[in-house]
Amino acid sequence: MLIRKPDDIPALEITPKADYMNRRKFLAQAAAVGLTAGSALFSPRSAFAGTKLQAVKSPLTTTGEELTSYKDVTTFNNFYEFGTGKEEPAIYAQDLPTRPWTLRVEGKVKKPLTFDIDQLLKLRPLEDRVYRHRCVEAWSMVIPWIGYSLSELIKQCEPLSTAKYVQFLSWYDKRYIHWPGQTGIQWPYSEGLRMDEAMHPLTLLTFGLYGEVLPNQNGAPVRIVVPWKYGFKSAKSIVTMRFIDYMPPTTWNELAPTEYGFYSNVNPNVDHPRWSQKTERRIGQPFYAQRKTTLFLNGYADQVASLYTGMDLKRNF
């Protein structure tokens, strides 16, 4: 047996104390759905994951950074409907029924429409876009997403001039949800963007990653990705888009308004009340290379800073 000294072990390999204390409970729950913890880590795909998506390279992409591995992208997730631990969605999200699936567009639009997931996939050519993904918990990834600009879908529905915001509601079915009472969240999960944010070409209606359809734990079959905002703004498994004339209630802002603002733009100059946002930990990198300096607007300032001209981003965080 090889025994390593504590100072030889990278931080990412050290089991958090809370996870260690709950190990028996976690393994029992994994066994209950016919999986072991080990099999979940190496088999994180849904029935549709592995299905290839044809996509063209997009000019709206981040280049020059090492991609986070597929394994890390699909086994280190926040998806609170399926557990509060990073490893739990890869197990429990396999209950998420992704077919049939519809996305309803309603509210202040000329054309309220309901799209089947396959209609959405064929609406326009899919693009391969590599984006930085930054979590408010101060970790980050670089992910090759597959999708197209959300604005392409919005244009189909012709929003009225009175539509100022877009609200996204995620799938919710209490028959499939694991431990919803642990989170204190009022379901379904709600997020929102201002109209100009939603219409920005970087805002991605997302169907896949690494050239394949989204695994369930990553928000299958359709989600939003807003690369200059913290990850929780990118609603997963969306079933409703609602165009409204007021700032919508959003899940984390309602749960902890002093910690999660409506805008939630990546800003190293505005700390979370409980930790600094000046640096981030890049998941999957060697221990010595994990710590990165957080970039303003996650490195997308040249493209999106004009959206916030005249705003106090310390107040509107």
Range of the domain at 162: 6-308
Peptide bond into 249 cis (omega under 30): no
Residue 44 pLDDT:
41
Q: Average pLDDT in the 87-100 region?
A: 95
Over the stretch 103-150, which tens digit does the pLDDT of each residue have?
Answer: 999 999 999 999 999 999 999 999 999 999 999 999 999 999 999 999
**Alpha helices, DSSP H, located in 54-174:** 70-75, 89-92, 117-121, 150-157
Residue 253 forms part of a structural domain: yes
Number of folded domains that form the chain:
1
- Residue 317 inside a domain? The answer is no
The pLDDT tens digits of the residues spanning 182-233 come to 668 889 999 999 999 999 999 999 999 999 999 999 999 999 999 999 999 9
* Contacts within 8 Å (CB) and 24+ apart, 1-6: none
315 in any annotated domain: no
Q: What is the pLDDT of residue 175?
A: 85
50 and 123 in contact (C-beta within 8 Å)? Answer: no
Q: Is residue 166 part of a domain?
A: yes
Produce one character per residue of 230-244: b if its CB has 16 or more CB atoms within 10 Å, e if not.
Answer: bbbbbbbbbbbbbbb
Within a domain: residue 314? no
- Is residue 207 within 8 A of residue 221, CB to CB? The reply is yes
Main-chain phi, psi angles of 149, to 5 degrees: -60, 130
In this structure, is residue 85 part of a structural domain?
yes
- Which structure tokens are listed for 283? 């998941």
- Report pLDDT digits (tens) over 143-175: 999 999 999 999 999 999 999 999 999 999 988
Residues in contact with 189: Cβ distance below 8 Å, sequence separation at least 6, in sequence order: 80, 81, 169, 170, 172, 235, 236, 251
How far is 83 from 87, CA to CA, in rounded Å? 8
| Burial of 111: CB neighbours in 10 Å, binned 0-12, 13-18, 19+ | exposed
In a domain, 122, yes or no: yes
Q: Per the domain annotation, does 33 fall within a domain?
A: yes
Instruction: Identify the CATH number of the domain in which residue 153 sits.
Output: 3.90.420.10
Alpha helices (H) along 105-207: 117-121, 150-157, 195-199
* pLDDT on residue 174: 85
